Amino acid sequence: MSEITPETERELVIIGVDNAAFSPLLEILEERKTVLPEQLRLLEEEDSEADPQVFANRNITVQSLEQFAFGPQQVVLLLKGGAAGQAALAAAEEAGAWVLDASDNTRGDESVAVVHPLLNAGAIASAERHVLALPASGAAMVAEALLPLRDRVQAVEVQLNQPVSALGKAAVDSMAAQTARMFNAQEVDVDPEVGHRLAFNHLSSSDALLESGHSLRELALVHDLRRLLGEDIAVDACINTASVFHGQLANLRVVLKDEADLEQLRALLRNGTGLKLEDRPSAQDAVGGDITLVGRLRQSLLSRRQVNFCAVSDNLRKDLAINCVQIVQLLLKNH
């Protein structure tokens, strides 16, 4: 029989069973024994008819989001966006629960702390509200890769190649169906949400462009990197979408305050928390793993103060699921 403690009396509520990150999230929660089956509540919109989910050899019923009663003993992990996500966030916060937004419901709200468990976990204690936000897609990986060099960096340009799973489960399903049709020599329609074919393609942008030429996703990446690393670092970003299901790769062009010493920088990256230095890292190498791979460190041909290198990680397991679970653990234990 499980020991009853103040921590085990808490509940973890996950909203958004149909999210692409839900399965790896459940795996990490079970691997790390973050919660007991009786502490876990799964919610989805009433008309979704979601099947029960297996967790720690127990079937967990997916309950109706619309009929669920939130309470102050809960930590709510929000994987759902849109009107349903916004309504759930408001109801949970009003009930006194802690809310971790992993679906951009609070994007642009400066009253919500953007938290990375490695970089700024202390921001939880000083949070203005009981609402936290996970960094934008790719921001966690890039921030981890830059952290060992943080005090030396003046500016960084990020070229993020995101996988289709960064666009959501519907995009993954759409690309799978398109791939099957193309292998059978059938015509393939463009994805209605993206406006391009996803299978066997590489998109300069999967989102509508603003007047500046950036997308909202790119500006969110810039915003969150500056919040995590400091406003004194100049940041620009471009996000492409590659025709792969999982695994992201970012090429980083880093301008340093002083002339680069490659051996010193390589040593800093090698000793970085959660990083592994490799000659030619690939997204395939990172998928299913719990660390960020960095490599191809080289002197830029444009400036003695610029170095270029890349970072890769599993966008769902590493950047979303593991970071979410670490924050949930802190909330359940200390808040």
Measured CA angle at 56 (ends 50, 62), to 5 deg? 20
Grouping H, G, I as helix, E, B as strand and the rest as coil, residue 314 is: coil
pLDDT bucket at 176, cuts 50 / 70 / 90: very high
- pLDDT at position 8 is 62
Kindly report the average pLDDT of the chain as a whole number. Answer: 94
- Using the 8-state DSSP alphabet, how is residue 3 labeled? P
- Hey, how many other C-beta atoms are within 10 angstroms of the C-beta on 69? 7
Q: Per-residue pLDDT averaged across 313-326, rounded? A: 95
- Hey, how many other C-beta atoms are within 10 angstroms of the C-beta on 304? 11
- Report the candidate in 196, 178, 198, 180 with the shortest Cα–Cα distance to residue 188: 178
Span 75-109, pLDDT tens digits:
999 999 999 999 999 999 999 999 999 999 999 89
Q: Rounded to an integer, what distance in angstroms lies between the CA atom of residue 58 and that of residue 247? A: 30
Of 115-119, 162-166, 188-192, 308-312, least confident by mean pLDDT is 188-192
Of 1-15, 217-231, 258-272, least confident by mean pLDDT is 1-15
Domain residue spans in the chain? 11-135+320-334, 139-314
Span 144-161, pLDDT tens digits:
999 999 999 999 999 999
pLDDT bucket at 296, cuts 50 / 70 / 90: very high
- Using the 8-state DSSP alphabet, how is residue 47 labeled? G
Q: Is the pLDDT of residue 74 over 60?
A: yes
Note whether 39 and 8 are within 8 A (CB).
yes
Exposed e or buried b for every residue in 213-248, given b needs 16+ CB within 10 A?
Answer: ebbebbbbbbbbbbbbbeeebebebbbebbbbbbbb
CATH architecture of structural domain 139-314: 2-Layer Sandwich (3.30)
Grouping H, G, I as helix, E, B as strand and the rest as coil, residue 183 is: helix
Q: Rounded to an integer, what distance in angstroms lies between the CA atom of residue 214 and that of residue 222? A: 11
- Report the candidate in 57, 37, 46, 56 with the shortest Cα–Cα distance to residue 17: 46
Can you give the C-alpha Rg of the chain in angstroms? 20
According to CATH, the superfamily of the domain at 11-135+320-334 is: NAD(P)-binding Rossmann-like Domain (3.40.50.720)
Q: Rounded to an integer, what distance in angstroms lies between the CA atom of residue 319 and that of residue 135? A: 9
Instruction: Give the predicted TM-score (pTM) of the model.
Output: 0.92
Q: Which structure tokens are listed for 95?
A: 């009930």
Grouping H, G, I as helix, E, B as strand and the rest as coil, residue 13 is: strand
From first CA to last CA, the distance across the chain in angstroms is: 25
Q: Side-chain half-sphere of 252: how many Cα atoms within 13 Å? A: 33
Q: Rounded to an integer, what distance in angstroms lies between the CA atom of residue 193 and that of residue 150? A: 37
- pLDDT at position 47 is 80
Grouping H, G, I as helix, E, B as strand and the rest as coil, residue 171 is: helix
Amino acid letter, 193: E
- pLDDT at position 4 is 39
